[in-house]
Structure 1
Amino acid sequence: MTTDSKPKIATSEMSGVAFAGIAKGAGMLAPSLATMLSVIMTDAVVDSFSAKVIFEKVVEQTFNRIDSDGCTSTNDTVLFLASGASGVSFSDMQLESALLKICSDLSYQLIADAEGHTKIVSITTINALTEADAVEVGRACARNNLLKCALHGEDPNWGRILAAIGTTSATFDPYRIDVNLNGVQVCTESSPGADRELVDMSGEIIEIVIDLNMGSESATIMTNDLTAMYVHENSAYAT
């Protein structure tokens, strides 16, 4: 499993039909799946054309929205296998729901085992003009090394977040951005909000909510903090 510290397995059942997934990956987790290898399996009866459309949508909303370090690789793979052995079929909506549950679970497990991390970080952008804008803003924050270092140091530095947003092509008003860190609105209309001392970042989970106040679309990107251990894991060996 290279640098994985544990196997990633997810299972569920719907109307007696089994869904299961396995995944491998702990670093280079970014869009295009990076060094992640995953297989999702079911004994449901599935139409291949519908399955492809549904699975691509699910992957875009799950595996392609984790970003541990912004790095990709050449051997990323995610497979969906259906044997049909149960003789049971589902509507497209039911199949999508079942796959979303498994893939969301595995995606979280990948981020929760990322190389050298001490924090699991969700970055949710709300009220964006488009979903693409929400994804771009979240990803820019997830790849901002200064912000990731601040998160590791448990520093609620919302200025790093605004700076990351400013690097994007998303539509936003630089005077209307709100930022919430672990339930505390530290930035209101791009200015200081609640006392930053109220933010508790001592736990493993950090939740960032960015309100662009431009529309109604949203998206969440999952990432980690940047640590000395991550640097060690990726520098203390010969290739």
Structure 2
Amino acid sequence: MSDSEDDYMSDKLLQQCEQDIRPGLVFNRTTKRQYELEKKKKEIEAKRPKSNREREEELREKGLNTAISSENKGFKMLEKMGFKQGQSLGKTQSGLKEPIKIELKSSKSGIGVESHFKERIKKKMERNDDYLKKKLNDFQFNNKIKQARRFLEKDFYTAQKTCEDLDCRKNIDEPIQEFYWTRETIRKKRDIKEEDEEEEFNEEFASYITEENLVEIIDYLRSRHLYCMFCAFVATDDEDLKTSCPGPYRSDHDDG
């Protein structure tokens, strides 16, 4: 190597590098000073003794992430029970391969508070489910009540209309009971004209629509006219009515 060429390991070359402050590395003296201050700050920070909290966190993380040593008494006891490092606890196919990880609480709530709230939420959801089921049952029950009421009103009017027609065919001018005949006919017989009388009359006739009164009209139709309103036929006598008709009521004529 010639004297004109500098040795790349020589002090001269290193000194040139230290003095070579280029724009791509350190832009000016202020930037260089800032860099030196930051470097010194990091050195001081590294020498600063760590606080108890920092040391505790480091030790805790180290302990949680470190497997139990094979020299540990507890580990040796597990080995005597058949445990081998790297295998699962319990059955091989479904056991845990590592101890359950400790979950550190980040909230300020006390021990058991979160589980208590979860239990309360669970019970509230169960109560909501029970409430919805009850509402559904009530809805279905109310629908059945409404349906039964519609059938009653329909059958009641049919019975009244039939009774009125059959009575008139036998020249019966007045019903045995007013509710045996239709409301329109009874209104004409009473000659109701005033609005107050009309309202009172409608309320009165609406109160007649009951199952007991319907049964009474049906029995009258069968005994007086030998007629079944559900079969829609007139029998020749009692025996014919008994043999030809399954029964006096709607339920007797329902399929199944």
Bigger radius of gyration among the two:
2
TM-score (norm 1): 0.21
Higher relative contact order (CA 8 A, sep 6+): 1
Judging by fraction of residues, say which structure has more helix.
Answer: 2
